[in-house]
């Protein structure tokens, strides 16, 4: 039976939002902490290369969700195509001018973007597990999502995955979802788009924007669904009493949890010196760079060292 053609918006000058879901072909829940961390890193890398804005994501034990806005090729300048090429291949690689249109099309392609993410992760996973063969199941599923209310509800659905699975009681407690990333890392390096869907979540005040979105997510997450966990009435009432604002102590606790889940934490000099003692254990040939912890002056972290 032939495949049904994928629905992709091709109108010039029009961005399009997609909810992408892809599942592993393996049994059980093969993606553990290290695999989830690596998949997020890979998504961050290719999201900088491709003309996409990542609105949300959730990495689960057997699948992942992505909510992305893809920019059409006619909105990507020649200079941007060349810059993205060098992000992918390195500054020392000569850009093939004759293939400008090919790379413009590629960097605006949802399929090419997801293919690079999945193939890169497959190589990592198979190398790490010393295995061969297919990692992913059938081709990824994509749903075109309208901006506004539909986008907000889709994002909330994605951020609530770990709650519905009974893994956490609050969505931001889950390290590998977009709400967790926004709060636990302070949206480090502006990885995630500021776009949250509805106009009332917009504006220049990111704190108000996040508070409004959290209020929406908690009310949606408190709705009971058959066979799924939900946010408890007690937690909802507690968050409502705080007007869905995160106190400084709680923000610090979430960020501390995110970075103490890493391998090394401390001053930059401490992290670099300690990393030097263990760098031969990492699979990558590139030196790892300490990352500053937003909201905690002078503190840096490095990825986990376990299972490397």
Share of the chain above pLDDT 90, in %: 55
* Same domain flag for 195 and 282: no
CA-based max dimension of the chain: 62
Whether pLDDT at 4 is above 60: no
Q: Which pLDDT score, from 0 to 100, does residue 159 have?
A: 96
- 188 and 249 in a single domain? The answer is yes
**What does the pLDDT read at residue 290?**
78
Length of the chain counted residue by residue? 308
pLDDT of residue 270 exceeding 80? no
pLDDT of residue 2: 44
Distances (CA, A) of 258 to 70, 112, 126, 253, 266: 29, 31, 27, 9, 14
Same domain, 31 and 170: yes
DSSP string, 237-254: HHHHHTTT---HHHHHHH
Tell me the average pLDDT across 182-199: 83
- For residues 248 and 273, membership in a common domain is answered with no
- In a domain? residue 56: yes
Q: Are residues 281 and 246 in the same domain?
A: no
Residue 144: which residues within 8 A CB-CB, separation 6 or more? 7, 9, 16, 17, 18
> What is residue 298's DSSP assignment?
T
Among 72, 64, 88, 76, CA closest to 13: 72
Same domain, 60 and 205: yes
- Predicted pLDDT at 226: 85
Q: Report yes or no on 89 lying in a domain.
A: no
Give the burial string for 23-44 (b: 16+ CB within 10 Å, else e): ebebeeeebeeebbbbbbebbb
Q: What is the pTM of this model?
A: 0.81
d(CA 130, CA 145): 38
Same domain, 128 and 188: yes
pLDDT at 306: 42
In a domain, 202, yes or no: yes
Residues 167 and 37 grouped into a single domain: yes
Q: What is the pLDDT of residue 16?
A: 87
Say if residue 184 is in the same domain as residue 285.
no
166 and 40 together in one domain: yes
Tell me the CA distances in angstroms from 208 to 130, 154, 195, 302, one per residue in order.
Answer: 47, 20, 13, 30
Tens of pLDDT, residue by residue over 170-181, are 999 999 999 999
3-class SS of residue 199: helix
Q: What percent of the chain has pLDDT over 70?
A: 80
In a domain, 88, yes or no: no
295 and 223, same domain (yes or no) = no
Mean pLDDT, rounded, for 48-77 = 95
Q: Which of 234, 255, 276 is the last residue of a domain?
A: 255
**pLDDT tens-digit series, residues 203-220:** 557 778 888 899 999 999
Q: Which of 63, 64, 73 is nearest to 112 (CA)?
A: 73
Q: How confident is the model at residue 116 (pLDDT cuts 50, 70, 90)?
A: very high
Distance CA 73, CA 12 (A): 8
Domain extent at residue 234: 16-72+108-255
Q: Using a CB cutoff of 8 Å and minimum separation of 24, what contacts does 240-245 make?
A: 240/215, 243/211, 244/211, 244/212, 244/214, 244/215, 244/218, 245/211
- Which pLDDT value is given to residue 185? 86
Mean pLDDT value across residues 34-41: 94
Question: What CATH number does the domain containing 158 carry?
Answer: 3.30.70.1290
What total number of domains does the chain contain? Answer: 2
């Amino acid at each position: 039976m032939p495949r049904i053609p994928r629905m992709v918006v091709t109108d010039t000058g029009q961005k399009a939002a997609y909810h992408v879901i892809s599942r592993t072909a393996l049994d059980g829940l093969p993606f553990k902490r290290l695999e989830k961390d690596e998949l997020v890193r890979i998504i961050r890398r290719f999201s900088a290369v491709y003309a996409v804005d990542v609105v949300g994501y959730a990495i689960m034990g057997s699948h992942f969700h992505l909510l992305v806005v893809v920019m059409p090729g006619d909105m990507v300048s020649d200079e941007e195509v060349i810059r993205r090429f060098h992000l992918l291949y390195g500054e020392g690689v000569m850009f093939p001018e004759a293939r400008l249109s090919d790379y413009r099309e590629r960097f605006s392609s949802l399929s090419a973007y997801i293919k690079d993410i999945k193939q890169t992760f497959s190589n990592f996973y198979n190398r790490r597990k010393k295995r061969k063969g297919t990692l992913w199941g059938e081709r990824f599923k994509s749903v075109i999502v309208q901006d506004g209310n539909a986008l907000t509800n889709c994002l909330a659905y994605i951020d609530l995955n770990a709650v519905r699975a009974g893994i956490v009681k609050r969505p931001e407690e889950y390290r590998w979802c977009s709400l967790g990333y926004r709060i636990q890392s302070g949206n480090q390096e502006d990885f995630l788009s500021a776009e949250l869907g509805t106009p009332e979540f917009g504006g220049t005040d990111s704190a108000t924007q996040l508070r409004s979105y959290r209020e929406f997510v908690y009310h949606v997450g408190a709705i009971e669904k058959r066979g799924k966990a939900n946010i408890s009435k007690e937690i909802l009432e507690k968050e409502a009493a705080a007007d869905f604002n995160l106190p400084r102590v709680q923000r610090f606790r979430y960020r501390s949890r995110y970075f103490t889940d890493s391998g090394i934490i401390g001053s930059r000099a401490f992290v670099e010196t300690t990393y030097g003692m263990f760098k031969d254990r990492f699979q990558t040939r590139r030196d790892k760079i300490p990352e500053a912890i937003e909201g905690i002056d002078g503190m840096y972290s490095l990825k986990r060292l376990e299972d490397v």
